[in-house]
A and B are shown apart, each in its own frame.
Chain A
Amino acid sequence: DSGVTQTPKHLITATGQRVTLRCSPRSGDLSVYWYQQSLDQGLQFLIHYYNGEERAKGNILERFSAQQFPDLHSELNLSSLELGDSALYFCASSSGTLGGELFFGEGSRLTVL
């Protein structure tokens, strides 16, 4: 158990809908990272938050947004969903900024029908 909690574990929705994925980092970790894992893309970095502030953006679509709250949990919002958004979405946390070990949650599997 990495200590990172993601909910929901599975989510099935329709195209055009909006979903929110939630992540609780390990106790004491200030950094939260979101990654997308799809069949043909491997693990793609989406976004990084540190202590409530956005630190880095990767290949995150404009239809996606994220935030980190004062209690350090994070949410990833996916809107106007398309079939191609079906993927595993992972959250990871670390104590600081990059350079240390990232601890991954078990992911949220999103299926868009």
Chain B
Amino acid sequence: GESVGLHLPTLSVQEGDNSIINCAYSNSASDYFIWYKQESGKGPQFIIDIRSNMDKRQGQRVTVLLNKTVKHLSLQIAATQPGDSAVYFCAEIVNTGFQKLVFGTGTRLLVSP
């Protein structure tokens, strides 16, 4: 399940820094958003979600911010650790007669010790 080789934007940070990963979504009618983490050799793993009636949600070391006005989503990781190194995808539920979960292109996070 590795995503190495994907032509992705990359964010490089030092261990202990805070990381911010950004995502622009496409559909103004989308009402549910999810961040996934994909480590090398594995499938995507759920991190945190947010519904459109919220603009902020916090988890353990992670915060998701939603700005519906500009259709922008961000994932903030506090005190980034080497184990956070992975590809991060935002995803939105799009309703086009039926529901489907549509993934963004992803951002590669590299954390240096």
Residues on A lying within 8 angstroms of B by beta carbon are 2, 4, 33, 35, 37, 39-40, 42-45, 48, 55-56, 58, 88, 90, 92, 97-99, 101-107, 109
Contacts and interface: CB of A to CB of B under 8 A. Distances in A.
B32 to A, nearest CB: 6
Contacts of B89: 42-43
Contact of A106 (B32, B43, B102): B43
A42 B6 contact: yes
Contacts of A109: 1
B19 to A, nearest CB: 20
Interface stretch (B44-52, B60-68, B73-81): B44-52
A58 B45 contact: no
Given A37-B3, A39-B6, A98-B93, A105 B43 contact: yes
A104 B99 contact: no
B29 interface: no
3 closest Cβ pairs, A-B complex: A104-B43, A107-B1, A43-B103
B91 to A, nearest CB: 8
B105 interface: yes
B82 interface: no
A106 B100 contact: no
A39 B46 CA distance: 21
Contacts of A101: 34, 46, 49
